[in-house]
C-alpha cells in the first residue's frame, strides 16, 4: 500500500519532494499561505490544497508522512504540529536553526511515538559514499587532517524576504553549507573544539557573514579547516573535502562533492565511480546535488524496516549543535 504524504510549504524545493512522492507514494495534500502556489502544486498532483497547516492537519487523518519544506525558522513549529497530530515527519535541512528548538522537535516525536527524519541528500553522492566506505573499513588508517572548501556564489539579489535575516535564516552555514557540516560529523565523528573567523565583505543587506574560516580539533585527534564563502565570482566554484591520512590521501570535489578529484590510497586503485545526479537548479543560482530520489527511497525503506539506516533527528540536531558552536566562537 502506498504511503500518503503531505507537503507543508510549496516553494522551489517542494517541487523536488512532490516529484519523488508521486513516484513512490501518494501526495494527498499540500499547504502554503500563498494560495496560488498551493493550488498550482495541488493541481499538478491531484492533491488537496490547504492554506493553513492547522486546517490540513485537522482535515487529513490518513497522512503517513508530512514533508516540511517551509523556510528555516518555521521548521520546528511546523514539524512539532505535524508530529503532535500523529504524523511521521521528513524535514528539509536544517532541522532547526536553534539547538533548543531541535530538542523540542525530538521530544515531540518521542511523545507522539512517531519518526522525525531530516534531508541529508549529499550522503548519496557516489564520491561521498566511496570516501565513507574507506573510512568505515579503516582503509585510510589514522586520519591526520582534513580540509573542507565551500566556495559558492549568492548575489545580493538572492537575499530577499526571510533570507539574510539572522533570526529567520540562521546564517550562511545553515542555509548554504549545513550539508558540509553534516558530512564532517558523518565521516569524521564529533568535534572537540573550534576557532572561527568570519566577515561580511559583499552583502551589506544581510545580518551575518558571507565568508568564514573555521579550525577544528576533532575528538578523534584529527585537525582540519572549513573555508567557506558565497562570494565566488559569478558562479559556484567548489565544494570539496580532502582527507590526509596514514594510508592515503583523498579529495572529493567538483562544485558539489560530485567528483573524485584525487585518490592515492595504499592497496587500491582509484575507481571509476557512477555518475551522480544533476545539481539543484534555482534559476539564478545552483544548490547541492539533487538526490531526493534516494532520500525518499530510503525513507520508504525505513518506514517498512526501522532497522534500515536513514538520517534521523539526532543527526540533524548534531549539525545544528556544531554550527551553533562555530557561530558562538565567531
- Tell which of 118, 140, 166 closes a domain: 118
Range of the structural domain that residue 177 is part of: 122-287
pLDDT under 50: residue ranges of the chain: none
Say whether both 158 and 179 belong to one domain. Answer: yes
What values do phi and psi take at 277, rounded to 5? -70, 170
CATH number at residue 17: 3.40.50.720
**Residue 279 and residue 136 in one domain:** yes
Pairing of strands 259-265, 248-253: antiparallel
Write down the pLDDT at residue 290: 78
Shared-domain flag, residues 49 and 174? no
What ranges make up the beta strands (E) of 22-63? 26-31, 48-50
Which of 252, 271, 287 represents a domain boundary (last residue)? 287
Give the pLDDT confidence score for residue 274 in this predicted structure. 82
Q: What is the pLDDT of residue 1?
A: 77
Residue 289: all three cell numbers together: 546535488
C-alpha cell at position 253: 570535489
Global model pTM greater than 0.85: yes
Query: Domain boundary residue among 85, 102, 118?
Result: 118
For the chain, what's the residue count?
330
Specify if 304 maps to a domain. no
| Chain position carrying cell 513512490 | 24
Mean pLDDT, the chain, whole residue set: 95
Distance CA 314, CA 117 (A): 9
For residues 81 and 151, state if they share a domain. no
How many domains does the chain divide into? 2
Q: Do 108 and 204 share a domain, yes or no? A: no
Amino acid at each position: 500500500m502506498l504511503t500518503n504524504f503531505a507537503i507543508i510549504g510549496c516553494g522551489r524545493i517542494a517541487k523536488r519532494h512532490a516529484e519523488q512522492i508521486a513516484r513512490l507514494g501518494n501526495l494527498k495534500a499540500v499547504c502554503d499561505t500563498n494560495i496560488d502556489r498551493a493550488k498550482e502544486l495541488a493541481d499538478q498532483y491531484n492533491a488537496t490544497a490547504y492554506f493553513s497547516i492547522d486546517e490540513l492537519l485537522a482535515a487529513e487523518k490518513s497522512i503517513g508522512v508530512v514533508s516540511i519544506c517551509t523556510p528555516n525558522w518555521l521548521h520546528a513549529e511546523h514539524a512539532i504540529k505535524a508530529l503532535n497530530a500523529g504524523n511521521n515527519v521528513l524535514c528539509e535541512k536544517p532541522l532547526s536553526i536553534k539547538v533548543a528548538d531541535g530538542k523540542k522537535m525530538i521530544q515531540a516525536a518521542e511523545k507522539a511515538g512517531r519518526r522525525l527524519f531530516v534531508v541529508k541528500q549529499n550522503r548519496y553522492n557516489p564520491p561521498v559514499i566511496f570516501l565513507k566506505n574507506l573510512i568505515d573499513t579503516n582503509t585510510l588508517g589514522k586520519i591526520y587532517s582534513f580540509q573542507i572548501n565551500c566556495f559558492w556564489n549568492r548575489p545580493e539579489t538572492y537575499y530577499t524576504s526571510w533570507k539574510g535575516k539572522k533570526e529567520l535564516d540562521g546564517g550562511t552555514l545553515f542555509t548554504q553549507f549545513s550539508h558540509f557540516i553534516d558530512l564532517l560529523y558523518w565521516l569524521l565523528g564529533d568535534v572537540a573544539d573550534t576557532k572561527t573567523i568570519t566577515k561580511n565583505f559583499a552583502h551589506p543587506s544581510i545580518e551575518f557573514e558571507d565568508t568564514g574560516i573555521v579550525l577544528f580539533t576533532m575528538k578523534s585527534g584529527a585537525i582540519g579547516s572549513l573555508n567557506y564563502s558565497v562570494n565566488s565570482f559569478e558562479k559556484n566554484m567548489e565544494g570539496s573535502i580532502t582527507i590526509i591520512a596514514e594510508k592515503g590521501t583523498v579529495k572529493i570535489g567538483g562544485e558539489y562533492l560530485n567528483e573524485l578529484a584525487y585518490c592515492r590510497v595504499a592497496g587500491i586503485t582509484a575507481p571509476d565511480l557512477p555518475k551522480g545526479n544533476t545539481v539543484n537548479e534555482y534559476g539564478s543560482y545552483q544548490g547541492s546535488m539533487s538526490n531526493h530520489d534516494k532520500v525518499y527511497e530510503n525513507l520508504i525503506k525505513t518506514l517498512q524496516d526501522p532497522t534500515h539506516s536513514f538520517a534521523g533527528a539526532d543527526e540533524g540536531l548534531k549539525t545544528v549543535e556544531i554550527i551553533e558552536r562555530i557561530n558562538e566562537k565567531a
